[in-house]
Amino acid sequence: MSQGEPVRVCIIPTGGTIASIYDSESQAYRPGLSVDTLLSYLPEGMGKIEVIKRELFQLDSANAQPHHWQEVASCIKATYEEIPDLAGFVVLHGTDTMVYTASAVSFMIQDFGKPIVFTGSQIPASMPWSDGPRNLRDALRVAAWADLGETCIVFNGEIHRATRVKKLRDRDHDAFDSADPTPLGMLARDIVLYEGRTKRHNLIPRFDTRLDDRVFLLKVFPGIPPSVISRIVDMGYHGIVIEGYGSGNIPTQENALTGPIKQAVSEGCSMLMSTQCAFGQADLSFYEVGKAALDVGALSAHDMTSEAAVVKLMWILGHTRERDVVKEMILTNYVSEVTLSDSKTIRGTSPMNP
């Protein structure tokens, strides 16, 4: 798509730092800027992009819940059905939980064929040194003209796949890094895109916002009481993502977690082993302390980030709790969230709706 062609892009604001203003009553920043105000901070020359605005909510992303993910996906679906010739979407979002929302939208909107771009800022756009205007400008460029057909996060001149990125820095402009593999591209004078991305296409999009939010994320630490797992199950959770040490390892001697994991699986709770390392993957076949979790019924998240693993398990359990089907879906690569030599990549079909 030529950058000389006028195009239409939809912006969906959800709040976040980029839209924050100083509240004299609370003496702290909260979301409050309108899209029009944010657009006024952009340099001239963006006139070839016609912006369609869909005001959704003004929320600090620390307050975002799974139903907010569904609202974002539903807004994109409704706008797409109303204006099918849109070049792409930009979702303005707080950085704290942007990865969760963007990952969720990836699963809930598949084969979209156009960029769904999440962005925000580390400094409110109302401040003169904010990174917000640059990120918004870059997001609009990607949504309008990039040969990209998937959900991504555009931040600090980089384009990251939504299901492969983590927020690693709380203040630097360079807040996000792709865990693995490399980013999808970068923004300089031109939009530079790398191989391995999903390009724009004309397949029929699939919208599926079903979720089961009864999924718990548990980080293993020395001295963790094994009973915590049974307590989580007793609280009504249907799935637990466990961030193990290293390649997904757990204690198997003192304070062993193997017994509670086996009991949870027998009670119908899906157990998914991830790693608490920012870079790496769960390989439960290498160490005895990792294989022990596999032997009692836990599944491996492989190289999925913990954020993507949590969202994917919520999405899967929104469709089924049957163990064999859950396992099959965990081992299915839907939106490039996992790398497996024997995985299936779904295009235009779903295990639930063949």
* Complete DSSP assignment for 239-307: EEEEEEBTTTB---STT-SHHHHHHHHHTT-EEEEEESSSS----TTTSHHHHHHHHTTPEE-TT--HH
Query: CA-to-CA distance for 34 and 126, rounded, in angstroms?
Result: 11
Contact 289, 325 (CB under 8 A): no
List, by residue number, the catalytic residues.
Answer: 17, 95-96, 167
For residue 101 the two structure tokens come to 């929302």
Q: Using an 8 Å Cβ cutoff, are 52 and 40 in contact?
A: no
Residue spans of alpha helices (H) in 112-257:
132-145, 227-234
Among residues 101, 69, 107, the alpha carbon closest in space to that of 333 is found at 107
The C-alpha atoms of residue 150 and residue 102 are separated, in whole angstroms, by 10
Dihedral angle, C-alpha 305, 150, 65, 327, nearest 10 °: -50
Say how far residue 82 (Cα) sits from the centre of its chain. 25
Dist CA 213 CA 219 (whole Å): 18
Number of helical (H) and strand (E) elements in the chain, helices listed first = 9, 20
Question: Measuring CA to CA, which residue among 233, 99, 113 is closest to residue 177?
Answer: 99
Phi, psi of 151, deg, nearest 5: -85, 135
Phi, psi torsion values for 243, nearest 5 degrees: -85, 100
Q: Give 3-27 as a DSSP string.
A: TTS-EEEEEEE-BSGGGEEEETTTT
Task: Show the tokens assigned to 263.
Answer: 């009991």
